[in-house]
Amino acid sequence: MTQALPAILIVVPCLNEAAHIGALLDRLRPSAARLGARIVVADGGSTDGTLAIVTDIAGKDSRVTLLHNNRRIQSAAINLAVATFGEGADYLVRIDAHGGYPEDYCERLVEEALATGADSVVVSMLTSGSGAVQKAAAAAQNSRLGTGGSRHRHLSAGEWADHGHHALMRISAFEAVGGYDETFSHNEDAELDYRLKQAGYRIWLSGKTRMVYYPRTSLKGLYVQYLGYGRGRARNVLKHRVVPKVRQMVPLLVFPVVLLSVLSFVHWLAAVPLLLWASVCLGYGLWTAIRQRNPDIALAGISAMIMHLGWSVGFWLQLLRLGARREVA
């Protein structure tokens, strides 16, 4: 980078990440030193030893600061960090504690922000796992069946976009639109991107770096995660009165299809949509495992079904809950 370095604030929202936070900070600290950046770990009340790890590292490195986030959720964590330490900083870099990053991740983000003039630089997010369930979930999340072809779920050569995995943002733009909406526990990034675009700010999907996400290690955890994603997407749709994209509308049919199958005792045709959906998902998982010669991902179809169902149930429950509130009012 030939331009003078801007002031950078690196924020790591965190909750019970003892297994990851130490290695993550060790990877970030050299980059922070090169950029002259501060690292703020905004912890939401960890009880697994995370606080002790961060406190120990902060005692050795003045660039690392521990910040207590009483609201617990990520949106509140980042807002609090920017409000507390953002004065004088040009850019915010958001780091997820449950992810993996290249050693030069922060530098590449800053390079692209300066080169493109973007107000936000987002990245592609690929998933990776180690156990059978995690590998299957990763395979599903890296596929069109699991993501519907979302741009930031696949590698990019660099392009202007409407949304992506949050990485770097100009703090003046972040503050101008009001930061994250703290009523969102999920989908807060897409909601903020919508407001950024509406306000005329530009979002660049990086072609120079990416991050790796490690999915849930249990099917129950995967379902609960996507239940939250569905609720968050519904809240975004309702707040901004936007029509869901086609790739988001298709999974919405899953919950109604499951409910319809209950009527199969009346007529067998009621079970046909459910059987078709299950066949497509399970067949995809087996085909992927055979094509990649990797039996560990044969359960990818089951993971995709759980993701679809959780997302669909979450979306519809959020709609029904809002409708009930309006009816009472």
Per-residue model confidence as pLDDT tens digits over 215-247: 888 999 999 999 999 999 999 999 998 877 777
SS3 labels along 55-78: HHHHHHCCCEEEEECCCCCHHHHH
Q: How far apart are CA 185 and CA 178, in angstroms?
A: 16
Q: Is 24 helix (H, G, I), strand (E, B) or coil?
A: helix
Q: In b/e form, how buried is each residue of 233-267, taking b as 16+ CB within 10 angstroms?
A: bbbbbeeeeeeeeeebeebbebbebbebbeeeeee
Per-residue model confidence as pLDDT tens digits over 100-148: 999 999 999 999 999 999 999 999 988 888 888 899 999 998 888 877 7
Copy the structure tokens of residue 147: 């993501």
Q: Can you list the domains of the chain with their CATH numbers?
A: 8-215 (3.90.550.10), 220-328 (no CATH)
- The mean pLDDT value of the chain amounts to 90
Letter for the amino acid at 3?
A: Q
Residues sharing a CB contact under 8 Å with residue 266, sequence separation 6 or more, in sequence order: none
Letter for the amino acid at 299?
A: L
Q: Is 87 exposed, middle or buried (0-12, 13-18, 19+ CB in 10 A)?
A: exposed
- Average pLDDT estimate for 56-62: 96
Residue 156: per-residue pLDDT: 74
pLDDT tier, 326 (very low <50, low <70, confident <90, very high otherwise): very low
Per-residue model confidence as pLDDT tens digits over 239-292: 998 877 777 788 899 999 999 999 998 999 999 999 999 999 999 999 989 988
